Amino acid sequence: MKTLSAIAPLIGVIFFIAAGIITYSKASIESPAMPRARDTLSEPLLRVIAEEQGSTSTIAYVRREASRYSAADQHLAAHALGQVLFEREGAEGAFRLCGALFGYGCLHQIVSQVSPERGLETATDAERVCRDIAPKARGDCLHAAGHSIIFSRGYTEESARESFAECEKTVTPDFDTEQSCYGGAFMEYNMRFMQEGAFNGGHAQAATVPFCLTLDTETAKRSCIFWMAPKAHAALGFMYNDRVFTTLGRFCTDSVPDSYQDACMESVGRSIGLVGYIPNNTAAHYCAVATTGTPFYRNCVHWAARTIVASNTKADITPLCETLPDDVPTCLAFSKTFIR
């Protein structure tokens, strides 16, 4: 097994970076530079604060300071905090303190550190770690574990199939495409964030639609298709504009079989929502652009709403959901399913 702690991977940073958390402008949305947050929320600085003031005060500092920055910075700060708390409190203690802070970034970092000592190559390993650390956040913990399983086993097609088979063992009736072992495994196989680093991943060539369709189960196939859109978005430079979302929508309709196009469009909605603070009318517009001529506008809006709320639990996505006049309650309820 490769040593995860040696490369300081930010396993779950992809919840907020894989599709480019970016700053909105009328023309498009482009990736921001993030030097200030790295200066004021860096791991070394948080370690000093923890040594001088204790863990609780460090958490308060991170919450206060991170509120000035983007969702991407916040998630990275939670990773740095998770590392510091892991060193001070151990895995279970750290998670009790930081919980779901900033899209479970703290949990993702904890899992990345605990896996070398406990071994994380199988579903049994993943379930054990998640049961011990975060029994009430099983899905999101398994997402982090899915990244780790792929990284540990390798990126060849044969080893990836073995990893996906392990993930299949964790599937339960309340399976969630994103918050699951499959979610992390397909992201890591396609994007290689643990191998290349959080800011360098996203351009690996791995799964293709034909590959997805050869997988053994429907859950695996649909999950694989869902995670194709972020890779396609990476190939388009993680930009946010009409051209990009028209292209992503056409990818879903032209390259994906009819029975899986809904999963693909849901992922496009997720990519739209990853901005976190995107205006409701802009999110709705991008979903309309992506789904033109298809019956999947609802799928796109649901996932955009959910992803916006995941990065900002106080976000008012009612206007977005109201673009589905016959489906507002369902849309609002679905938007709350990321933070459990």
**How does pLDDT run across 45-67, given as a tens digit for each residue?**
999 999 999 999 999 999 999 88
Q: Are residues 215 and 251 in the same domain?
A: no
DSSP lists the bridge partners of residue 240 as: 29
227-to-107, 265, 271, 275, 338 alpha-carbon distances in Å: 22, 11, 10, 18, 17
pLDDT surpassing 70 at residue 23: no
pLDDT band at 204 (very low <50, low <70, confident <90, very high): low
Q: Are residues 203 and 248 in the same domain?
A: no
Q: From 197, 227, 257, give the residue that closes a domain.
A: 227
Count of beta carbons in the 10 Å neighbourhood of residue 239: 16
- CA–centroid distance for 222 within its chain: 17
Percent of the chain with pLDDT over 70: 81
Domain annotation covers residue 37? yes
Token look-up 């490369």 returns 7
pLDDT band at 171 (very low <50, low <70, confident <90, very high): very high
What's the pLDDT at 181? 92
Q: From 187, 204, 227, give the residue that closes a domain.
A: 227
Domain annotation covers residue 217? yes
Domain annotation covers residue 316? yes
pLDDT band at 115 (very low <50, low <70, confident <90, very high): low
Count of beta carbons in the 10 Å neighbourhood of residue 14: 26
Domain span holding position 122: 4-227
Q: Are residues 325 and 300 in the same domain?
A: yes
pLDDT band at 123 (very low <50, low <70, confident <90, very high): confident
More confident residue, 198 or 233: 233
pLDDT band at 124 (very low <50, low <70, confident <90, very high): confident
Q: Are residues 154 and 278 in the same domain?
A: no
What's the pLDDT at 70? 64
Count of beta carbons in the 10 Å neighbourhood of residue 55: 18
Domain annotation covers residue 174? yes
What's the pLDDT at 139? 87
Q: Are residues 221 and 254 in the same domain?
A: no
pTM over 0.95: no
What is the tally of structural domains in the chain? 2
Q: How far apart are the first and last CA of the chain?
A: 32
Q: Are residues 154 and 251 in the same domain?
A: no
Q: Are residues 209 and 249 in the same domain?
A: no
Q: Are residues 274 and 170 in the same domain?
A: no
Domain annotation covers residue 232? no
Which structure tokens are listed for 182? Answer: 């499959």
Q: From 227, 251, 281, give the residue that closes a domain.
A: 227
